[in-house]
Amino acid sequence: MNFDLLVWRQTAGAAPGKMIKYRAEGISPDTSFLEMLDIVNEGLLARGEEPISFDSDCREGICGSCGFVINGRAHGPDLGTATCQLHMRRFKDGEEITVEPWRARAFPVIKDLVVDRTAFDRIVAAGGYISVNTGSAPEANSILVPHQDQEASMDAAACIACGACVAACKNASAHLYVGAKVSHLTLLPQGKPESAKRALSMLRQADAEGFGSCSNEGECEAVCPKQISIRNIARMVREYSRATLLGTDS
Amino acid sequence: MSPTANVATLERPTVALPGTMRLDARVPEGSLEQKWDSRKFEQKLVAPANRRRHTVLVVGSGLAGAAAAAALGEQGYNVKCFTFHDSPRRAHSIAAQGGINAAKNYKNDGDSVWRLFYDTIKGGDYRSREANVYRLAQLSVNIIDQCVAQGVPFAREYGGQLDTRSFGGAQLERTFYARGQTGQQLLLGAYQALMRQVERGTVQLYSRREMLDLVVADGMARGIVCRNLLTGELERYSGDAVLLCTGGYGNVYYLSTNALNSNVTAAWRCHKRGALFANPCFTQIHPTCIPVSGEHQSKLTLMSESLRNDGRVWVPKQKGDQRSPHQIPDDERDYYLERRYPSFGNLVPRDVASRNAKTVCDEGRGVGETGLAVYLDFSNAIGRLGRNSIEDRYGNLFEMYARISGEDPYATPMRIYPAIHYTMGGLWVDYQLMSTVPGLFVLGEANFSDHGANRLGASALMQGLADGYFVAPYTVADYLASTKLAPIDPRDEAFSSAVSDAQAQIEKLLSIRGKRTVREVHRELGLMMWDLVGMSRNEAGLRKALNRIPHLRAEFWSDISVPGTGDNLNKTLEYAARVGDYLEFAELLALDALRRAESCGGHFREESQTPEGEALRDDANFSYAAAWQFNGAGKESTLVQEPLEFEYAHPTQRSYA
């Protein structure tokens, strides 16, 4: 298969960027999207040119390193699929494909398709955990967790922090990301004691990082490679409201 | 070449002296059950008020690194944690699927610390250190408690209790799991604990940093040199101890289930500074991976071993049978694992399952376009339990398979083939997890200590977390409290010379401007390693590899192409430095495989097999850990043996029949 790629190139955060055209030729339909970019990069290297920079690591949709806006859609056309799991058989032979980085004020571009997502770490540092020191845990089965709560918690915990939700949102909101972490921990009995404080601190940090607010469009859910539901945003808002109305000791 | 050539024995020096050394594993006295307790009591402590005066450098943020950094931070040490990722949560531990073992015996099916100890020693084919393995089994129960308290959403029964399942190499259900994403959930638990310490100010996080050298001063590990991957700057960090938690070296084979950036660089450079490297030839080939389909492939994808709980492995009885799997009636299928190993069936350990897959494919009975695959068939389980049950257990794995292969595994059996997955070898450590360089501790997959010649499924997560949460915090404290540490300044000569070495290498890579891409050379190395030092090894092949690697290395250093500069994000440059190290390390791996003229676990020497084709150990000559000492580039390394003594688990020919 052959493709015409329009790829965002930007040498550094402060430098201007632009779309550059590349040709990908003789690509097997079994090639993944990132492997197709590898092949394009090998061609650039052979000509002594700098390859297209992008983050990627596990290449099986779990580490959350990769992700581009492909043809205007975060992670491309497939539902519940990270960019690294997307295969070229999904595209038409000869198709023109645009490839851009996540665009959000809180995710500044570092180079080409690589963006800075450390804001996500700072949001977790603000409260996305259960305060338990090593060694102080009770016997595991002394905490009973109803099966359905554990399942709902796991659904939210599956977030890979790729940032697609932010990239897809017209407000560049991180609500799905924050909501997923709040839900993961709040749904478990272990996470209940800090639940109000957690929602409050994480959301405050998200605001401070420059993420926008949520206007319930649901774009985030639509592009999430782990199909995390926006119900998690509702749960987070509930925790947040409780914290702002009743204080964090509630 | 005699397997015991160059063996040296002397008193253990405090410094890695060139020439000769004797390894002291510092295993505590007393019975196996009491060793760890008595060591914890003997150890010196650092008083709470004094802990913040000690800086501990933790390199890597996977299960071992994040757990150690969090645990040490909680205690009040001044911790600096380094990762080459943008976020600590992206470490490759995140990709572990199946589960984590623990001797909780919740299923009342006969488990105990002793049983987990024994299974792990036997699974490792009697090439691990008893005391370490026993401690690991003891700590396994604390890990589950800790993770549950952190909010790890392990699978539950309807009554709310934790669920477990069975895994390869065990006849009971001791594996805790969070769907097919256990590694992800455990890492998130450790990551969250780590970020909590970052917020409290006890841990400073340095992301997008790659460790390029270890700084040894007065014979002790006192710092590291990192490249800031965004600015290219070489940064110096000093400390009182260095914890290396940088994972395994599976990517020396180019194609493996490891993440693309996993590499041997940090460990290798510590090796060059005096840390002995043990058992590099003990590599694990995982039996259930999606087969190779073409040259474009950048990595192989693992299908969790848990699938062998319900999937049945088979090939056609007849050679070259081209029919689709549905057209092959049951009596013309060879369920070869069930046939050869009736008591363990499809759940034999990984090395046994992998070798058998290779054997049937070599016989011409492999399936799929390349003939290098076997079927993993769920039709029986779907018939027995219903599609929904199978979907609950393995839904995400089936989806992953469908995406990559373009086939529906609910309707057509999966095609699987072995691939490099994990490396049991690593830097040599004593019972305290300290390497031969005092002050350099090595945790998790990066060390060699617990899995012998083969790791059982669901034991890597256990070891990473045991090392990080429950071993290193004690042993590092003992080291800090019992060692006289002079003040160290990052402007010291030891730092400057490490920086100039790293700088010279970077400049060299950028100046070659040759014709070969890094990926081409890496792929060539990987294919050679897979062919000659892969699933099945023999003397002629190993000698051939040892002969060819230096040529490829020379070609790399004279004809590689690395465009761009060193003062910004340059992923080609990062990759080139890693491949440069693989080209040195590969030679040690092959040399170790050559010297170990026995088969054991994942190391199969064709010259040493039973009449049934199983791995045949040679305890009389090889019951030791092979620790290698670096003697300079291009010079043959020296072998130092740590004899293995088995007081409790008596070595027998492993049988899973």
Residue B22 covered by a domain: no
Residue A206 covered by a domain: yes
Mutate one of B83, B107, B144, B188 to test the A interface: name it (highest A CB count within 10 A): B188
Per-residue CA distances from B305 to A49, A216, B357, B558, B651 (Å)? 42, 41, 14, 42, 26
Per-residue CA distances from A52 to A42, A167, B437, B599 (Å)? 10, 20, 40, 45
- Indicate yes or no: CB of B296 within 8 angstroms of CB of A28: yes
Taking the Cβ of residue A125 and every Cβ of chain B, the question of whether any pair is shorter than 8 Å is answered with yes
Task: Let me know whether A190 and A86 are in one domain.
Answer: no
Structure tokens at B11: 């008193």
Task: Let me know whether A187 and A242 are in one domain.
Answer: yes
Task: Let me know whether A107 and A159 are in one domain.
Answer: no
The number of folded domains in chain B is 1
Q: What are phi and psi of B106, to 5 degrees?
A: -65, -25
Mean pLDDT of B445-454: 96
Distance of residue A245 Cα from the nearest chain B Cα, in angstroms:
25
Residue A90 covered by a domain: yes
Show the beta-strand stretches assigned E in B258-351: 277-278, 283-289, 312-316, 333-334
d(CA B561, CA B108) in angstroms, rounded, equals: 60
Distance of residue A153 Cα from the nearest chain B Cα, in angstroms:
7
Q: Is B332 left (phi over 0), alpha (psi -120 to 50) or beta?
A: alpha
Taking the Cβ of residue A79 and every Cβ of chain B, the question of whether any pair is shorter than 8 Å is answered with no
Q: Which residues pair with B165 in a beta bridge?
A: B175
User: Minimal Cα distance from B181: which residue of A?
Assistant: A158
Taking the Cβ of residue A232 and every Cβ of chain B, the question of whether any pair is shorter than 8 Å is answered with no
Nearest to B259 among A50, A63, A138 (CB): A63
Residue A249: exposed, middle, or buried by beta-carbon count in 10 A (0-12, 13-18, 19+)?
Answer: exposed
- Hey, what amino acid is at B306? S
d(CA B78, CA B54) in angstroms, rounded, equals: 6
Please write the tens of the pLDDT for every residue from A51-76. 999 999 999 999 999 999 999 999 99
C-beta contacts of B510-513 below 8 A and 24+ residues apart: B510/B562, B510/B564, B510/B565, B510/B566, B510/B573, B512/B557, B512/B558, B512/B559, B512/B560, B512/B561, B512/B562, B513/A48, B513/B561, B513/B562
- Indicate yes or no: CB of A137 within 8 angstroms of CB of B90: no
Please write the tens of the pLDDT for every residue from B48-78. 999 999 999 999 999 999 999 999 999 999 9
pLDDT (0 to 100) of residue B386: 95
| Residue B5 reports pLDDT greater than 50 | no
Please write the tens of the pLDDT for every residue from B467-518. 999 999 999 999 999 999 999 999 999 999 999 999 999 999 999 999 999 9
Taking the Cβ of residue B90 and every Cβ of chain A, the question of whether any pair is shorter than 8 Å is answered with yes
Structure tokens at B72: 């040490």
- Indicate yes or no: CB of B469 within 8 angstroms of CB of A145: no
Task: Let me know whether A170 and A66 are in one domain.
Answer: no
Nearest to B160 among A87, A146, A153 (CB): A146
Of A213, A218, A124, the C-alpha closest to A175 is A213
- How many CB pairs (< 8 A) connect A and B? 215
Q: Which residues of A touch B564 (CB under 8 A)?
A: 50
pLDDT (0 to 100) of residue B10: 34
Q: Which residues pair with B558 in a beta bridge?
A: none
Indicate if B39 belongs to the active site. Answer: no
Task: Let me know whether A104 and A121 are in one domain.
Answer: no
Domain of residue B396 covers 286-421
Of B183, B174, B21, the C-alpha closest to B90 is B183
Residue A226 covered by a domain: yes
Please write the tens of the pLDDT for every residue from A200-239. 999 999 999 999 999 999 999 999 999 999 999 999 999 9
Nearest to B151 among A138, A139, A184 (CB): A184
pLDDT (0 to 100) of residue B514: 96
Please write the tens of the pLDDT for every residue from B376-412. 999 999 999 999 999 988 888 898 899 888 899 999 9
Residue A151 covered by a domain: yes
- Indicate yes or no: CB of B296 within 8 angstroms of CB of A154: no
Residue A62: exposed, middle, or buried by beta-carbon count in 10 A (0-12, 13-18, 19+)?
Answer: buried
Residue B242 sits at the vertex; the CA angle it makes with B238 and B244, to the nearest 5 degrees, is 135
Q: What percent of chain A has pLDDT over 90?
A: 97
Q: How confident is the model at residue B12 (pLDDT cuts 50, 70, 90)?
A: very low
Task: Let me know whether A126 and A95 are in one domain.
Answer: no
d(CA A167, CA A163) in angstroms, rounded, equals: 6
Q: Fill in the DSSP letter of residue B290.
A: P
Residue A43 covered by a domain: yes
Of B27, B21, B446, the C-alpha closest to B214 is B446
Q: Which residues of A touch B563 (CB under 8 A)?
A: 45, 48-51
Residue B310 covered by a domain: yes
Taking the Cβ of residue A246 and every Cβ of chain B, the question of whether any pair is shorter than 8 Å is answered with no
Distance of residue B484 Cα from the nearest chain A Cα, in angstroms:
28
pLDDT (0 to 100) of residue B17: 45
- Indicate yes or no: CB of A145 within 8 angstroms of CB of B160: yes
| Residue B6 reports pLDDT greater than 60 | no
B8: Cβ contacts below 8 Å, ≥ 6 apart = B19, B20, B21, B22, B638, B640
Taking the Cβ of residue A124 and every Cβ of chain B, the question of whether any pair is shorter than 8 Å is answered with yes
Q: Which residues of A touch B162 (CB under 8 A)?
A: 140-141
d(CA B51, CA B68) in angstroms, rounded, equals: 15
| Residue B21 reports pLDDT greater than 80 | no
Mean pLDDT of B18-46: 91
Instruction: Convert B45-83 to b/e letters by CB count within 10 Å (16 or more is b).
Output: ebeeeebeebbbbbbbbbbbbbbbbbbbbbbbbbbbbbb
B45: Cβ contacts below 8 Å, ≥ 6 apart = B477, B478, B481
Q: Which residues of A touch B151 (CB under 8 A)?
A: 129-130, 153, 184-185, 188, 190-191
The number of folded domains in chain A is 2
pLDDT (0 to 100) of residue B269: 98
B634: Cβ contacts below 8 Å, ≥ 6 apart = B550
Residue B408 covered by a domain: yes
Instruction: Convert B283-315 to b/e letters by CB count within 10 Å (16 or more is b).
Output: bbbbbbbbbebeebbbbbbbbbbbbbbbbbbbb
Report how far Cα A130 is from the mean position of its chain's Cα atoms. 22
Show the beta-strand stretches assigned E in B64-114: 78-82, 100-101
Q: Fill in the DSSP letter of residue B39.
A: H
Mean pLDDT of A172-192: 98
B525: Cβ contacts below 8 Å, ≥ 6 apart = B252, B254, B549, B552, B579, B582, B583, B586
CATH of residue A103's domain is 3.10.20.30
Handedness of CA B158, B163, B166, B170 (dihedral sign): negative
pLDDT (0 to 100) of residue B167: 85
- Indicate yes or no: CB of A124 within 8 angstroms of CB of B205: no
Task: Let me know whether A92 and A10 are in one domain.
Answer: yes
Between these two residues, B352 and A8, which has the higher pLDDT value?
A8
d(CA B423, CA B437) in angstroms, rounded, equals: 22
Task: Let me know whether A127 and A208 are in one domain.
Answer: yes
Q: How confident is the model at residue B633 (pLDDT cuts 50, 70, 90)?
A: confident
pLDDT (0 to 100) of residue A249: 65
pLDDT (0 to 100) of residue B303: 87
CATH of residue B407's domain is 3.90.700.10
Taking the Cβ of residue B301 and every Cβ of chain A, the question of whether any pair is shorter than 8 Å is answered with yes
| Residue B354 reports pLDDT greater than 80 | yes
Taking the Cβ of residue A83 and every Cβ of chain B, the question of whether any pair is shorter than 8 Å is answered with no
pLDDT (0 to 100) of residue B126: 97
d(CA B438, CA B56) in angstroms, rounded, equals: 14
pLDDT (0 to 100) of residue B7: 37
Of A173, A147, A235, the C-alpha closest to A199 is A235
CATH of residue A169's domain is 1.10.1060.10
pLDDT (0 to 100) of residue A185: 98
Q: What percent of chain B has pLDDT over 70?
A: 97
Mean pLDDT of B242-261: 97
Q: How confident is the model at residue A247 (pLDDT cuts 50, 70, 90)?
A: confident
Residue B492: exposed, middle, or buried by beta-carbon count in 10 A (0-12, 13-18, 19+)?
Answer: middle
pLDDT (0 to 100) of residue B653: 83
- Indicate yes or no: CB of A31 within 8 angstroms of CB of B160: no
Residue B325 covered by a domain: yes
| Residue B16 reports pLDDT greater than 60 | no
Q: How confident is the model at residue A100 (pLDDT cuts 50, 70, 90)?
A: very high
Mean pLDDT of B420-435: 98
Q: Which residues of A touch B406 (CB under 8 A)?
A: 30, 87, 89
Mean pLDDT of A161-186: 98
d(CA B95, CA B260) in angstroms, rounded, equals: 12
- Indicate the helix (H) or strand (E) that contains B71: helix B63-75
Residue A138 covered by a domain: no
Residue B544 covered by a domain: no
Task: Let me know whether A90 and A150 are in one domain.
Answer: no
Domain of residue A39 covers 3-111
Q: Which stretch of B246-260, B296-310, B481-495, B553-567 has the lowest confidence by average pLDDT? A: B296-310
Q: Which residues of B touch A57 (CB under 8 A)?
A: 85, 90, 92, 259-261
Task: Let me know whether A33 and A126 are in one domain.
Answer: no
Q: Which residues of B touch A128 (CB under 8 A)?
A: 192, 195
- Kindly report the length of chain B: 657
Taking the Cβ of residue A81 and every Cβ of chain B, the question of whether any pair is shorter than 8 Å is answered with yes
pLDDT (0 to 100) of residue B498: 97
Task: Let me know whether A82 and A122 are in one domain.
Answer: no
Mean pLDDT of A179-196: 97
Residue B39 covered by a domain: no
* Of B127, B350, B355, B595, catalytic: B350
Task: Let me know whether A126 and A216 are in one domain.
Answer: yes
Taking the Cβ of residue B402 and every Cβ of chain A, the question of whether any pair is shorter than 8 Å is answered with no
Give me the residues of A, 34-53, that contact B with CB < 8 A: 34-36, 38-39, 42, 45-46, 48-51, 53
HEC assignment per residue over chain A:
CCEEEEEEEECCCCCCEEEEEEEECCCCCCCEHHHHHHHHHHHHHHCCCCCCCCCCCCCCCCCCCCCCEECCEECCCCCCCCHHHCEHHHCCCCCEEEEECCCCCCCCEEECCEECCHHHHHHHHCCCCCCCCCCCCCCHHHCCCCHHHHHHHHHHHCCCCCCHHHHHCCCCECHHHHHHHHHHHHCCHHHHHHHHHHHHHHHHHHHHHCCECCCCCCHHHHHCCCCCCCHHHHHHHHHHHHHHHHCCCC
Instruction: Convert A67-93 to b/e letters by CB count within 10 Å (16 or more is b).
Output: bbbbeebbbbebebbbbbbbbbeebee
β-pair type (A73-74, A69-70): antiparallel
User: Minimal Cα distance from A226: which residue of B?
Assistant: B396
pLDDT (0 to 100) of residue B8: 38
Mean pLDDT of B508-535: 96
Instruction: Convert A134-143 to b/e letters by CB count within 10 Å (16 or more is b).
Output: beebeebbeb
Structure tokens at A167: 């990239």
| Residue B525 reports pLDDT greater than 50 | yes
A101: Cβ contacts below 8 Å, ≥ 6 apart = A8, A10, A68, A69, A107, A109, A112, A113, A114, A115
Mutate one of A10, A129, A143, A197 to test the B interface: name it (highest B CB count within 10 A): A129
Q: Are the C-beta atoms of B401 and B409 separated by less than 8 Å?
A: yes
Distance of residue A213 Cα from the nearest chain B Cα, in angstroms:
24
Report how far Cα B411 is from the mean position of its chain's Cα atoms. 34
Residue B523: exposed, middle, or buried by beta-carbon count in 10 A (0-12, 13-18, 19+)?
Answer: middle
Residue A212 covered by a domain: yes
Quote the mean pLDDT of chain A.
Answer: 96
Residue spans of alpha helices (H) in B300-386: 336-340, 350-362, 379-385
Structure tokens at B521: 């050379």
Distance of residue B40 Cα from the nearest chain A Cα, in angstroms:
14
Q: Are the C-beta atoms of B361 and B369 separated by less than 8 Å?
A: no
Q: What are phi and psi of A154, to 5 degrees?
A: -65, -40
Residue B546 covered by a domain: no
Q: Are the C-beta atoms of B288 and B376 separated by less than 8 Å?
A: yes
